[in-house]
């Protein structure tokens, strides 16, 4: 358990998958650099920032939440792609299994159509923007530098928009922050992960430096958010009392701010191994996870300075989930948030009492399930007079061998990929559809 958390916390939120939209432009190779405080399109227009005054902590009775399992596993649940309930006009961008090019597929035309023949096996990473018009990808060069390219799926034009030398980022990553903003970062594979390098605005052809964070050499980078013109880098800092504080660097004010005050005494680091604390996010939400003897505590807040600095009591922010009866260990490699409704997606070992085996002596033996997929609604728990219930929706889907690749734009379809097939799971009905021999790239509205 500890090792999984250490690995997850160090890796931060770099595995998050984003899709988005931007007008198509062919950019020059060199983009003019601008500072976070310039008067360019990236420059803030707000008044000078000051650390928000913490509100008096509010208190409320301690609540424990007990999982109620709801099975969403209909009979004959494997359906054709056209019967899955995917939004009309929405397209899936694919790669063939040999990675020779990009293809387009939809419910209106269920025969994949080649968009462009490309040697995708030379790429080291890619990210499709929200409407699926522009695909950013990374090419590793012979001198160990990396190049960021932009490909228009509408016109087929492509151009290099940024280059990274080996010292800036040996194995860079990219992800879209908005319709036209692309985050570029260095490699992150352990404690002391480097902060991102640039935010590229592919519409305006400008860039902003995001390396300055007022962080220390041993601080851990956790993630980056863009929210209504506010750019925030999230990281943890070790404190003298043995605990860890969480900070954000607000680029609009060039200032470091302490956030999540209700976690100050809850984040305990085990020497050289890890911590019982996990942090992850999706779009503009941040979720906090604290392991407890009875299960775990979890909470979600908006990723902006105001929400993250409120001095609320721990119990008013976090929900205490008791999982020691039928749930086993959480798999920290598979925790996500559905951006459309902030539903918590978790992977857990699970004792299935519903499908238990009846022995010869008429006793029952519960079925033990590993890597079971659950969706938890943290926003609308069912509360009765005695206890609070959180509904854990079990989709009877084993995630072993699959990777979560994100959600459809409306949040109804979750996508999983293995090495040779794609699974589309409808979270409302529990039905799913498979596509063998293809790799998932992203969604497109064009």
- The pTM of this model reads 0.80
Q: What is the CA radius of gyration of the chain?
A: 23
Phi first, then psi: give them for residue 120, nearest 5 degrees: -65, -20
Q: Whole-angstrom Cα distance, residue 336 to residue 345? A: 5
Percent of the chain with pLDDT over 90: 26
User: 26 and 159 in contact (C-beta within 8 Å)?
Assistant: yes
Reported confidence tier of residue 152, pLDDT bands at 50, 70, 90: very high
pLDDT attached to residue 60 = 58
Q: Whole-angstrom Cα distance, residue 16 to residue 345? A: 13
User: Strands, E, within 186-262: which ranges?
Assistant: 196-201, 206-209, 220-227, 230-238, 244-250, 255-259
pLDDT attached to residue 14 = 33
Q: Whole-angstrom Cα distance, residue 179 to residue 436? A: 30
Q: How many CB atoms neighbour CB 433 within 10 A?
A: 20
Query: Residues 41, 127, 330, 238: is their CA dihedral positive or negative?
Result: negative
| Beta carbons within 8 Å of 119's beta carbon, 6+ residues apart | 99, 100
Q: Whole-angstrom Cα distance, residue 276 to residue 269? A: 7
User: 433 and 9 in contact (C-beta within 8 Å)?
Assistant: no
For the cut 90, the answer to whether the pLDDT of residue 426 exceeds it is yes
User: 173 and 188 in contact (C-beta within 8 Å)?
Assistant: yes
Mean pLDDT, range 424-442, rounded to an integer: 95
pLDDT attached to residue 6 = 39
Mean pLDDT, range 9-34, rounded to an integer: 34
Mean pLDDT, range 6-12, rounded to an integer: 37
- Tens of pLDDT, residues 381-406: 776 666 677 889 999 988 888 888 98
Reported confidence tier of residue 13, pLDDT bands at 50, 70, 90: very low
**Highest mean pLDDT out of 92-106, 230-244, 287-301, 354-368:** 92-106
Mean pLDDT, range 206-212, rounded to an integer: 87
User: 372 and 398 in contact (C-beta within 8 Å)?
Assistant: yes
Taking phi over 0 as left and psi of -120 to 50 as alpha, with beta for the rest, 316 belongs to: alpha
**Highest mean pLDDT out of 46-50, 254-258, 298-302, 310-314:** 254-258
Reported confidence tier of residue 145, pLDDT bands at 50, 70, 90: confident
User: 443 and 409 in contact (C-beta within 8 Å)?
Assistant: yes
Mean pLDDT, range 400-418, rounded to an integer: 91
DSSP SS3 for 3: helix
- Tens of pLDDT, residues 37-72: 332 333 333 333 344 444 445 555 667 888 888 999
pLDDT attached to residue 141 = 87
Q: Whole-angstrom Cα distance, residue 19 to residue 129? A: 4
Least Cα distance to 398 among 426, 421, 369 occurs for: 369
- Tens of pLDDT, residues 97-141: 988 999 999 888 888 999 989 888 888 889 999 889 999 999 988
Least confident of 13-17, 160-164, 300-304: 13-17
Of residues 345 and 190, the one with the higher pLDDT is 345
Least Cα distance to 93 among 124, 121, 134 occurs for: 134
DSSP annotation of 9 reads H
Q: Whole-angstrom Cα distance, residue 11 to residue 333? A: 10
pLDDT attached to residue 333 = 65
CA dist list (Å): 351 to 47, 74, 378: 55, 20, 22
Domains of the chain with CATH codes:
2-36+57-444 (2.130.10)
pLDDT attached to residue 424 = 96
Reported confidence tier of residue 84, pLDDT bands at 50, 70, 90: very high
pLDDT attached to residue 311 = 79
Strands 277-282, 285-292: pairing is: antiparallel
pLDDT attached to residue 385 = 61
pLDDT attached to residue 10 = 38
Q: Whole-angstrom Cα distance, residue 116 to residue 210? A: 33
Q: Whole-angstrom Cα distance, residue 77 to residue 268? A: 44
């Amino acid at each position: 358990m500890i090792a999984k958390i250490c690995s997850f916390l160090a890796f931060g939120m770099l595995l998050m998958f984003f899709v988005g939209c931007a007008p198509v432009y062919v950019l020059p190779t060199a983009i003019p650099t601008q500072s976070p405080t310039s008067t360019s399109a990236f420059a803030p227009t707000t008044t000078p920032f000051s650390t928000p005054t913490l509100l008096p902590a509010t208190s409320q009775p301690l609540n424990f939440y007990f999982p109620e399992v709801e099975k969403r596993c209909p009979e004959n649940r494997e359906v054709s792609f056209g019967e899955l309930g995917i939004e009309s006009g929405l397209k899936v961008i694919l790669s063939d299994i040999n990675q020779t090019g990009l293809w387009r597929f939809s419910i209106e035309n269920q025969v994949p159509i080649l968009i462009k023949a490309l040697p995708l096996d030379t790429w080291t990473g890619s990210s499709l923007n929200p409407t699926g018009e522009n695909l950013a990808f990374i090419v590793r060069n012979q001198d160990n530098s990396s190049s960021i390219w932009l490909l228009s799926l509408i016109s087929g034009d492509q151009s290099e928009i940024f280059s990274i030398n080996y010292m800036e980022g040996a194995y860079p990553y990219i992800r879209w922050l908005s319709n036209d903003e692309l985050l570029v970062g260095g490699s992150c594979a352990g404690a002391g992960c480097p902060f991102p390098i640039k935010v590229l605005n592919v519409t305006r052809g400008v860039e902003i430096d995001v390396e300055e964070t007022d962080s220390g050499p041993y601080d851990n980078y956790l993630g980056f958010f863009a929210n209504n013109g506010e750019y925030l880098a999230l990281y943890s800092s070790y404190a003298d009392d043995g605990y860890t504080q969480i900070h954000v660097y607000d680029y609009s004010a060039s200032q470091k701010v302490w956030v999540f005050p209700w976690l100050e005494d809850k984040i305990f680091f085990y020497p050289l191994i890890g911590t019982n604390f996990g942090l992850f996010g999706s779009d503009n939400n941040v979720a906090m996870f604290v392991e407890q003897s009875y299960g775990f505590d979890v909470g979600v807040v908006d990723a902006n300075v105001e929400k993250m600095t409120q001095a609320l009591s721990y119990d008013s922010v976090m929900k205490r989930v008791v999982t020691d009866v039928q749930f086993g260990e959480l798999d920290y490699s598979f925790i996500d948030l559905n951006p459309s409704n902030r539903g918590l997606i978790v992977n857990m070992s699970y004792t299935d009492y519903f499908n238990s085996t009846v022995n010869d002596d008429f006793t029952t033996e519960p079925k033990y399930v590993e890597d079971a997929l659950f969706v938890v609604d943290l926003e609308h728990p069912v509360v009765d007079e005695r206890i609070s219930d959180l509904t854990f929706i079990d989709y009877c889907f084993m995630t072993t061998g699959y990777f979560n690749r994100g959600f459809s734009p409306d949040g109804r379809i979750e996508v999983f990929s293995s090495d040779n097939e794609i699974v589309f799971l409808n979270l409302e009905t529990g039905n799913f559809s498979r596509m063998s021999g293809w790799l998932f790239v992203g969604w497109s509205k064009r």
